[in-house]
Amino acid sequence: MPQTLTEKILSRAAGKSVSPGDVVEINVDIAAFHDLTGYHVIEVMEKAGMLKVFDKQKIVIAFDHLAPPPDVRSAEIQTQIRKFVKQLSIPNFHDINVGILHQILLEKYANPGYVIVAADSHTTTSGAVGAFAQGLGASDVAAAVITGKTWIMVPQPFKITLEGKPGKWINGKDVSLKILGDFKADYFNGMSIEVFVKEPSAFPMDFRATVSNMGIEMNADALMFVPDEETINYIKTNRGYEPPTIRPDEEAKYVDEYTIELNKLEPLVAAPHSVDNVKTVNEVEGLDVDQVYIGSCTNGRLSDFEMAAKILKGKRVKTRCIAIPASYDLFKKAMDLGYIEILVNAGCVVTYGTCGPCLGGHFGVAGPGETIVSTSSRNFKGRMGSNDSKVYLSGPAVAAATALEGKITDPRRFS
Amino acid sequence: MIVEGKVLKFGDKIDTDIIIPARYLKYTDPQYLAQHAMEPLDPEFYKKASAGVILVAGKVFGMGSSREQAAIALKAAGVKAIIAESFARIFYRNAINNGLPAIVLPDATKLINQDDYVKVNVETGEIIVNNQKVYKGRGITGMPLKILESGGLLDYLKKVSVKG
């Protein structure tokens, strides 16, 4: 029988042919966690009396949510995890100087066809290279870390096709928001989304990572880009080897499908307090903003900084603007390309490799009554700090244009 | 397994940042988390839930973060079960893994009202409202039921590893 990408990956992982609706035990290729959930994972392992890992090479740990630690408890959490890493000799450990877990998984570990589970919902990001990747809670991840297995209900596959080329200021965020606006946040519950890109080079890995990242906002079980030459080029360039290829069969059946014409997209935003409260930038243009955040595992990549730098070059921002590349490697690249200098000269506060403001953690928490434009993934009530703050989600072009004008601004004014 | 209690009702898309804001995630102590459960929507939630309640909610309850503290906080606050029109996948697993029954009932928010008294058969999904109306939700069976009956994944794993 012809199989979708979802069925192919999960059949291999289950060691038998699976179909949507089946509940099966599967082997995982990578189990990962970060500081904020990691101490909880270790706590569960300790309580179960099973402080062991199924395969050291397949565990990935990164410090990002509390990095560098903003208080003593955060430092204590990191100390506990460093002790665990040392005790079990975990090789793939990334301390505060490397970056956000999902970006590191993409840069160094995720391969097409992999099953990846991690104690963070945005694990879906690794779907950008065609991995079936999903977030789980601390208990489930603890079980996966110990046994190398988890259980899953095989999701219903849904096909999305991206056609044409996106315009100058359009980014993966606009595709995510388009899907969320059209389908709403509950539609894909129990489904996995497989995305086919008609012109692979027109939708680069950075854009794909943003869309996969927000697969969890669509409540999809996974959001995977079907591996193509763009996937192979990305892994070859970053890691020096050609990844295994896996594609769905031509005749594979999907529950439904949907096409997005990239050239017709316009800059979109998600208004408070819901990710599917999507509007065009023109519908909210002119609204006063207190702070802009460019970064996070959603939109902290090189092309995001390139877009922001194009808009901010030689100018000064009118709002507070915080900019955080998603990894130290990206920070260095952005520095070499001059983007960091442009942002600093424009008045942005720039640091690297922390989740910081995205979850109201540190380095830019929203105060009462404040309005934020953020390139991160969520605008839930109180997400970035005060319950009385408002978060508008956007891509980096809208965010940079907004920082420049002090109010929500259409980046197409900067052609 | 039967659970019962008075209904506290919420709408669609109750996300994990509402259930337990990120600033409380550096601890896993159930009592500490319980005091901050649902704080952004209702700072009095902890007091209201303490007598033992059934939450009724709309679509994708628990959407968002993987934080297991969301399930821990609700259970410790006094929530006996959650009946929702649908659940976010990660939250659903976290609830079961922490011994908190989660029952799917389409149209739950239309069928059940605030302050109703509800009895839930966790296994069959049968829901009796005010000793009168009976609705059929999606019960919990198979391995999730075994986990739930053990009190959570940790206790289930201990039991299985002792047997094994």
**ipTM metric:** 0.97
State percent of chain A over pLDDT 70. Answer: 100
Q: Cβ of B64 and A216 within 8 Å? A: yes
Chain A interface mutation, best of B26, B92, B96, highest count of A Cβ atoms under 10 Å: B26
Q: What's the distance, Cα to Cα, between the start and end of chain B in Å?
A: 26
Residue among A50, A137, A189 minimizing CB distance to B97: A137
pLDDT in tens, A139-187: 999 999 999 999 999 999 999 999 999 999 999 999 999 999 999 999 9
Q: Cβ of A36 and B86 within 8 Å? A: no
Q: Report helix angle B153-163 to A138-147, nearest 10.
A: 30
Does residue B68 belong to the interface with chain A, where contact is any CB pair within 8 Å?
Answer: yes
Residue B161: pLDDT over 80: no
Does residue A144 belong to the interface with chain B, where contact is any CB pair within 8 Å?
Answer: no
Helix (H, G, I), strand (E, B) or coil at A134: strand
Q: What is the mean pLDDT of residues B34-50?
A: 96
Residue B98: what pLDDT? 96
Q: What is the mean pLDDT of residues A252-273?
A: 98
| Of the candidates A133, A120, A129, A160, the residue with the CA atom closest to the CA atom of residue A297 | A120
Residue B163: pLDDT over 80: no
Residues of B in contact with A50 (CB under 8 A): 157, 161
Q: Cβ of B97 and A139 within 8 Å? A: yes
Distance from the B84 Cα atom to the nearest Cα atom in chain A, whole angstroms: 12
State both tokens at A64: 């990002």
Q: If pLDDT is split at 50, 70 and 90, which confidence band does B164 have?
A: very low
Known binding residue A355? Answer is yes
- Given CA atoms A401, A404, A408, A413 in this order, what sign does their dihedral have? negative
Question: What is the C-alpha to C-alpha distance for residues A410 and A162, in angstroms, rounded to an integer?
Answer: 23
A338-354 as b/e: b if 16+ CB within 10 A: ebbebbeebbbebebbb
Question: What is the C-alpha to C-alpha distance for residues A314 and A373, in angstroms, rounded to an integer?
Answer: 22
Minimum CA–CA partner of B65 in chain A: A121
Question: What is the C-alpha to C-alpha distance for residues B89 and B93, in angstroms, rounded to an integer?
Answer: 6
Mean pLDDT in chain A?
97
Ordered alpha helix ranges (H), B23-163: 30-34, 45-49, 69-77, 89-97, 108-111, 142-150, 153-163
pTM beyond cutoff 0.90: yes
Distance from the A216 Cα atom to the nearest Cα atom in chain B, whole angstroms: 7
Q: Cβ of B66 and A37 within 8 Å? A: yes
Residue A415: what pLDDT? 77
Angstrom CA distances, A219 to A57, B62, B129, stand at: 30, 10, 30
Residues of B in contact with A66 (CB under 8 A): 26
**H/E element holding A306?**
helix A302-312
CA–centroid distance for A133 within its chain: 11
Known binding residue A321? Answer is no
Question: What is the C-alpha to C-alpha distance for residues A142 and A144, in angstroms, rounded to an integer?
Answer: 5
Taken in order of first residue, the domains within chain A and their CATH numbers are: 5-15+22-262 (3.30.499.10), 267-414 (3.30.499.10)
Does residue B140 belong to the interface with chain A, where contact is any CB pair within 8 Å?
Answer: no
- Given CA atoms B8, B13, B16, B20 in this order, what sign does their dihedral have? negative
pLDDT in tens, A338-372: 999 999 999 999 998 899 999 999 999 999 999 99
Distance from the A10 Cα atom to the nearest Cα atom in chain B, whole angstroms: 17
Does residue B153 belong to the interface with chain A, where contact is any CB pair within 8 Å?
Answer: yes
Residue A242: pLDDT over 50: yes
Q: Cβ of A380 and B64 within 8 Å? A: yes
Residue A127: pLDDT over 50: yes
Known binding residue A297? Answer is yes
Residue B162: pLDDT over 80: no
A251-279 as b/e: b if 16+ CB within 10 A: ebebeeeeebebeebebbbbbbbbbbbbb
Residue A219: pLDDT over 60: yes
Residue A97: what pLDDT? 95
Chain A 349-408, CB below 8 Å of chain B: which residues? Answer: 359-361, 378, 380-383, 387
Q: What are phi and psi of A236, to 5 degrees?
A: -60, -45
CA atoms within 13 A on the CB side of A411: 25
For B30, residues 6+ apart whose C-beta sits below 8 A from its C-beta are B72, B73, B75, B76
For A293, residues 6+ apart whose C-beta sits below 8 A from its C-beta are A321, A322, A323, A324, A357, A358, A364, A372, A373, A374, A375, A376, A384, A399
Minimum CA–CA partner of B152 in chain A: A139
| Of the candidates B83, B72, B89, B112, the residue with the CA atom closest to the CA atom of residue B3 | B83
Chain A interface mutation, best of B18, B68, B140, B148, highest count of A Cβ atoms under 10 Å: B68
Question: What is the C-alpha to C-alpha distance for residues B121 and A132, in angstroms, rounded to an integer?
Answer: 35
Residues of A in contact with B153 (CB under 8 A): 139-140, 143
Q: What is the DSSP letter of A349?
A: E
Angstrom CA distances, A180 to A278, A293, A309, B87, stand at: 7, 21, 27, 17
| Of the candidates A199, A249, A191, the residue with the CA atom closest to the CA atom of residue A220 | A191
Cβ proximity of A213 and A103 under 8 Å: no
> Which residue is it, tokens 């700072």?
B43
Q: What is the mean pLDDT of residues A110-124?
A: 98
pLDDT in tens, A274-305: 999 999 999 999 999 999 999 999 999 999 99
CB pairs under 8 A between A and B: 117
Residue among A50, A221, A380 minimizing CB distance to B17: A380
